[in-house]
Structure 1
Amino acid sequence: MSKSDSNPYWRYYRCAFAIEKKLSNDSHIFKWVDEALLSEIEALTLRTEKLEQVVADITNGTMEVAKKMFEELQMKLEEESDQRVEEAVAEANYEMKEMMIIICFGCMIVVGCTKLVG
């Protein structure tokens, strides 16, 4: 605590080495408490801003990874859907060909029967 006439009872920090050696130079690593606290607050503000940026970067990175995973899943689902549609179309084509063969064969039988009767 200051005992000077200009700053009576003001609290300050001073180097422990200077106190141990009983140095008379009060400016040896000397800082008023209120200035030191402001400096600490400013330093913590900078650290907080840096940490917020790191969190934002991580969050953005996480969102990018999630977006990429979503796009990959969407592509996979589209491929599976396309494959199922192609399989359904192929099966319908096969069944239609079977029906056409049966109809053609039935028509030939009917024509043959009419020639035999007529």
Structure 2
Amino acid sequence: MSNESGNSSGTSVSRVRGRVVGVPKRCWCGELVVSLMSKSAANPYRRYYRCAFAVERKLSNDNHTYKWVDEALVDEIEALTCRISRLEHTILAESVEEKKKKLAELEMKLEVEVFARV
């Protein structure tokens, strides 16, 4: 097991390739990421994601993907919240545009009726 599991700042930073946002699927090296459980005294039973290659070779303090599951899920929720916000804004904008079009159509119909009566 990696001795990084005792590191409470075990963020999703792959120091060579950059930060992984959300739940990591693959490491920068191309290997799948697996879910493991910490056995350290500092973080007992805390789950984390780790590069399968690094786990297989029992690497530690390397640049392969390592991220706590709870941090990954918080990142995922924050990303989804931003996406939902953008979608709501898009839907609202589309709704306003549709209402403007309907209003313009009604104005045209009223103008035609007014001119027909006059």
Q: TM-score, normalised by structure 1?
A: 0.62
- Where in structure 1 are there 5+ consecutive unaligned residues? 83-118
Aligned mates of 2:48, 2:65 — CA distance in 1:
10
- Decide which structure has greater strand share: 2
Post-superposition Cα deviations, 1:7-30, rounded to whole Å, max 9, x if no partner, equal: 111101123343355423376321
Q: Which residue pairs with 2:113 in the alignment?
A: 77
Aligned mates of 1:77, 1:15 — CA distance in 2:
71
Rg larger in structure: 1
Aligned mates of 1:75, 1:16 — CA distance in 2:
71
SS, match of residue 13 in structure 1? strand
* Number of residues of Structure 1 aligned to a counterpart in Structure 2: 82
- Decide which structure has greater helix share: 1
Quote the sequence identity (%).
48
Aligned mates of 2:92, 2:57 — CA distance in 1:
49
Superposed, 1:29-68 pairs within 5 Å as 29-68=65-104
Amino acid at match of 2:74: L
SS, match of residue 45 in structure 2? coil
